[in-house]
Structure 1
Amino acid sequence: MKRRDFLKGSAAGAAVSAVASPAIAQSAPEIKWRMTSSFPKSLDTIYGTAAVFAKQVAEMTDNKFQIQLFAAGEVVPALQALDATANNTVEMSHTASYYYVGKDPTFAIFASVPFGLNARQQNSWLFQGGGNELADEFFKKFGVVGLPCGNTGTQMGGWFRKEIKTVADLSGLKMRIGGIAGQVLQKVGVIPQQLAGGDVYPSLEKGTIDAAEWVGPYDDEKLGLQKVAKYYYYPGFWEGGPTLHAFCNLEKWNTLPKTYQAILVNAANTANTWMTARYDMQNPTALKRLVAGGTQLRPFSHDVLDACLKATNELWGEISANNADFKKVIDAMQAYRSDEYLWWQVAEYTYDTFMIRSRTRG
């Protein structure tokens, strides 16, 4: 390169730098937001996922975008997280959308519904099967943007004071169970109770409720539920792969630079993967401890599962008849589920079943 050309290039580069620096500074403003969780700090994985999200945002912006995290009850009660975000009490929240079925039952589908998708299928539907697009369209009606931010994997069926051998044993049972799953179980005789995580143990201990579901072995052990109920049932058919969301106030979202919006999306994606991996690591050892301590593992009978599946399909028909949003989303999810299990039964299920049998045979 000739010296004259080099100098011209250097001058041009300096000019570009002079123009670009202020532009870059403007696109990376210093922002401080607040985020409320629906979970207590003691549940270090489900609460901790929001902390992972906030840390990622800070690191990707060189601490220019900071999100201060608050546990349930520090700003608003656990089950008011979405409302606090929509009305801009806080800019963000970390919660489960099925807590808000009282506003519209469609909220539940983007978290988990009875006999829905497992964790991998849920992520596949949301990110590749059009689920997130449907969610965006729906959530905007309530003034929020929702970013998938965690999945617990299939949950347990909960803690019971007595054995559940038949459908009749569910009649009159007072059970802590959230969202639309409670409406399904109500059809088979259960009296559903919606309680925040911090209220589950005292309610079960006092006998205010007869049974309670929360998450799985690791979190359930932390809540001490094994101390107040003996029988631990599986699977939690109402939560095959429940997604948590990081909700953002829609107006605040629209004020962000595109780079910051992308950073929020990518931070949520990291947290989404982190939660599932973390629970998959923690649950096996927690389950061993529970069983060693006297917990009685019990599977739900096929009769109970069949009755609940029938009740679920009846409920979907009833809601769909009066709610176009719900029908649109549940039909899309169920069609995706059908194709997923067509594939699952060929490879995933066959492989897992063989490996589980091999393990039990030693």
Structure 2
Amino acid sequence: MDRRKFVKSAALGAGALTLAGCDNGNDRAADSPSAPAVIRKQRKLKLVTAWPKNLPGLGMAPERIAKNVFEATDGAIDIKVYAAGELVQAFDSFDAVSTGAADMYHGAEYYWQGKSKAFNFFTSVPFGLTANEHMAWIYHGGGQELWDELAVQFNIKPWMAGNTGVQMGGWFRKEINTLDDFKGLRIRMPGLGGEVMRLLGAAAVVLPSTDIFTSLQSGAIDATEWVGPWNDLTMGFYQVAKYYYWPGFHEPGAALSLGINTDVWNDLTKAERRIIQDACAAENSRNLSEFNAFNTRSLRILTEQHGVQLRRFSEEILLELGRLSKIVLREASESDDMTKRVYDSFLVARSDGAAWSEISEEAFWQARRLSMTET
């Protein structure tokens, strides 16, 4: 028996015992008219996304949240999920929720950096936080409070609702051997990573997911980053670009988000708000575990079945990317007071995370590699 059925059965049993205990031995209760049934009004909500329909990982996260909320509320909250383009375009989902045209969105906060540069930090920034570090910042380092303060200006209540983990560096139609190879390169890269590309001399553009493949195929762009092997295999980029670079310096742990219209949020009961919050929190671990599991399998398919060639950015390139990233982050922090406060909090979280990772996960990975070395 699943837990929810068990709880219902237990509640019904407890109710029966309570009624039995109150019975005074006559049949007055049986003769009295039944109490009117409580009719619960179903709330139907529209959730727009920045993802193609049925896209693994990114696209299924909001579907799973909607399903979990429906079941946990016994159908009292019915969330209909709309893929990008079905109700609004991918990059219009924030405004749709802000104005009340839709109730919720699922996307990536750096898509809204035109509203405030601070939004970038709640998805991922170059050489930023890993998935675990990001969750530590949001849940225990003041990140959620800053995010709330930022988003409420746009009539949005945000929650973290998924994470891709470390991403790949991108798909390139030609090899990238030196810094000069970035000059004039037309690359799809959103967020502050795109700003770093521009400083390298590349022409960085932002495209919705639905337009990336055709743009790469037609030659409108020369390269693109997306997510990682699992999603990238589904998108078919291997058909038009063979060089697959790592590491993904620009998004070391890209957090996904669920944004809710504040009027809708405030109209929910305390219990309903908790259910939605918990559904989002559950998606962080579920989504991240999916990417970790399926990226490995998908990368094997890409290299062994489709001839994709893995390439690592050289140390020279990574050093320059790191130098330029510091400039980009600092300049972003100077755009407004809110972004400066978010940036300062982020720096503390990154410093704390790096100090602990050095003697925990990083040290363990090094030790594990040694233990697995054949002698």
Q: Is 1:341 equivalent to 2:354 in the alignment?
A: yes
Structural mapping, 1:191-340, within 5 Å? 191-292=203-304, 293-340=306-353
Decide whether aligned partners of structure 1 residues 85 and 296 sit closer, same or farther in structure 2, where only a CA change above 3 A counts: same
Q: Is 1:39 equivalent to 2:51 in the alignment?
A: yes
Percent identity, aligned pairs only? 37
- TM-score of the superposed pair, with normalisation by structure 2: 0.88
Moved more, 179-188 or 257-266: 179-188
> Does the 8 Å contact 1:152/1:276 carry over to 2?
yes
Decide whether aligned partners of structure 1 residues 10 and 70 sit closer, same or farther in structure 2, where only a CA change above 3 A counts: same
Tell me the CA shift for residue 7 of structure 1.
10
Q: Is 1:149 equivalent to 2:161 in the alignment?
A: yes
Tell me the CA shift for residue 356 of structure 1.
3.7
Tell me the CA shift for residue 359 of structure 1.
4.4
Tell me the CA shift for residue 260 of structure 1.
0.7
Report the AA paired with residue 300 of structure 1.
Answer: F
Moved more, 176-185 or 220-229: 176-185
CA distance in 1, matches of 2:67, 2:334: 44
Residues 40-97 of structure 1: per-residue CA shift (max 9 Å, x gap): 1241221101011001101111111110011110000011111111011110010000
CA distance in 1, matches of 2:369, 2:236: 29
CA distance in 1, matches of 2:280, 2:187: 32
Residue 345 of structure 1 aligns to a residue in which SS? helix
CA distance in 2, matches of 1:65, 1:360: 53
Tell me the CA shift for residue 104 of structure 1.
1.0
Name the structure 1 match of 2:367. Answer: 354
Residue 87 of structure 2 aligns to a residue in which SS? coil
CA distance in 2, matches of 1:123, 1:46: 18
CA distance in 1, matches of 2:264, 2:232: 35
Report the AA paired with residue 329 of structure 1.
Answer: V
Q: Is 1:62 equivalent to 2:74 in the alignment?
A: yes
Structural mapping, 1:70-85, within 5 Å? 70-85=82-97
Report the AA paired with residue 348 of structure 2.
Answer: A
Name the structure 2 match of 1:16. Answer: none
Residue 175 of structure 1 aligns to a residue in which SS? strand
Decide whether aligned partners of structure 1 residues 8 and 201 sit closer, same or farther in structure 2, where only a CA change above 3 A counts: closer
Decide whether aligned partners of structure 1 residues 345 and 126 sit closer, same or farther in structure 2, where only a CA change above 3 A counts: same
CA distance in 2, matches of 1:143, 1:210: 38
Report the AA paired with residue 338 of structure 1.
Answer: S
CA distance in 2, matches of 1:234, 1:357: 22
Residue 86 of structure 2 aligns to a residue in which SS? coil
Moved more, 28-37 or 338-347: 28-37
Tell me the CA shift for residue 250 of structure 1.
0.8
Decide whether aligned partners of structure 1 residues 294 and 118 sit closer, same or farther in structure 2, where only a CA change above 3 A counts: same
Residue 201 of structure 1 aligns to a residue in which SS? helix
Q: Is 1:89 equivalent to 2:75 in the alignment?
A: no
CA distance in 2, matches of 1:210, 1:56: 40
CA distance in 2, matches of 1:291, 1:111: 29
Tell me the CA shift for residue 200 of structure 1.
0.9
Residues 205-229 of structure 1: per-residue CA shift (max 9 Å, x gap): 1111010000000110111101101
CA distance in 2, matches of 1:25, 1:236: 54
> Does the 8 Å contact 1:231/1:297 carry over to 2?
yes
* Structure 2 unaligned spans of 5+: 1-17, 24-34
> Does the 8 Å contact 2:49/2:84 carry over to 1?
yes
The CA RMSD over aligned residues, in Å, is 2.2
> Does the 8 Å contact 2:97/2:261 carry over to 1?
yes
Residue 35 of structure 1 aligns to a residue in which SS? strand
- TM-score of the superposed pair, with normalisation by structure 1: 0.91
CA distance in 2, matches of 1:249, 1:198: 25
Q: How many residues align?
A: 348
Report the AA paired with residue 289 of structure 1.
Answer: I
CA distance in 2, matches of 1:343, 1:197: 35
CA distance in 2, matches of 1:350, 1:210: 38
Decide whether aligned partners of structure 1 residues 7 and 158 sit closer, same or farther in structure 2, where only a CA change above 3 A counts: closer
Residues 317-337 of structure 1: per-residue CA shift (max 9 Å, x gap): 223233111111111111111
